[in-house]
Structure 1
């Protein structure tokens, strides 16, 4: 399998962490979807990463679709529960974590792509409100549990860890560590795992 993505994207990192936890072999093909010469639409008409190209040439896109498929390939480190209610709760965690990133990336791109005089302060405020609300709910839901779903490591932890890691990279001014020490404890615990150590994002 080939995973098309970048070393910065939190969505790509989520897939990479899952593949590492599942011990799946793949090749990471770096792609800058913002470059004029990008060919991403040849495999994903939406022009987004990650995109998983499988052995038969077929493709999967959207990180949530990809990781759900990957979890079916091997029983090693099952990340999605089989019980429907628990499985749905994990997916809610994933949607929450991805939603925080969706909003934060909107702000990041607004600031990067538009000159200051063209940026919408109202739009930025609205999106940052989503980021802070999402972090607050993640902290409330986590409570004092060792993992998002209690004692078991799941895809929920992967999604939250990737979100926090990206915020630390792109929005260091957000003091989620100081405001939500339980999220900091979870993130530090996750950062000890090889799958997280080997996929730390860096600015590109």
Structure 2
């Protein structure tokens, strides 16, 4: 397998963390989708990373699809419950973390890709409201639990850890550590794992 992505993308990081936790060998190829000479559309018509190239040459897109598939390849470090409400709960955590990222990335694109005179402060405020509410929801759901989905490390923790790490990387002005110390405690614990240490965004 070959993973195409960037060192800064939180969605790419999520897949890289899962690959490391599952101890799966995978070539990593850097791609800047914003570069004029990008060829990402040849493997992903949506022009996005991550993109996972399978052994038969076919492409798998969307980080949520990838990590769910990768968890089936080996019993090492099972990240998703087999079925039922527990599995849905983990996937809801992932959707929440990814939703926070989606909103924050829209803000970053608005501020960095659009001319200043065309930027909408109302749009930015709307998206930042989603980020704030999403973080509050994460903190409330986590409570005093050691991990997002109970007593075990799961894909929920991977997704939340990648989201929090990216916010610290791109939005240091968001003081989520001060506002939600339980999330900070979880993030610090996750940051000690080799899979997280080796994939710090840059």
The bucket for the TM-score relative to the shorter chain is over 0.9
What TM-score results when the alignment is normalised by the length of structure 2? 0.99
The question of 1:168 aligning with 2:157 is answered: no
By how many angstroms is 1:83 displaced?
A: 3.3
Could you say what the CA RMSD is over the residues aligned between the two structures, in angstroms? 0.6
How do 1:95-174 and structure 2 match up within 5 A?
95-174=95-174
What TM-score results when the alignment is normalised by the length of structure 1? 0.98
Cα distance in 2 for residues equivalent to 1:9 and 1:154: 20
Show the counterpart of 1:71: 71
SS at match of 1:146: coil
Q: Which moved more, 1:26-35 or 1:114-123?
A: 114-123
- Structure 1, unaligned runs of 5 or more: none
By how many angstroms is 1:84 displaced?
A: 1.2
Show the counterpart of 2:27: 27
By how many angstroms is 1:82 displaced?
A: 1.1
By how many angstroms is 1:27 displaced?
A: 0.7
Question: Structure 1 segments of 4 or more deviating over 4 A?
Answer: none
Cα distance in 1 for residues equivalent to 2:26 and 2:104: 29
Cα distance in 1 for residues equivalent to 2:196 and 2:39: 28
What is the CA deviation profile of residues 9-36 of structure 1, one whole-angstrom value per residue up to 9, with x for unaligned ones?
0000000000000000011100000111
Residue-pair matches, total: 202
- Structure 2, unaligned runs of 5 or more: none
By how many angstroms is 1:116 displaced?
A: 2.3
Cα distance in 1 for residues equivalent to 2:28 and 2:128: 31
Show the counterpart of 1:36: 36
By how many angstroms is 1:55 displaced?
A: 1.0
Cα distance in 2 for residues equivalent to 1:114 and 1:74: 44
By how many angstroms is 1:115 displaced?
A: 2.7
Cα distance in 2 for residues equivalent to 1:160 and 1:87: 16
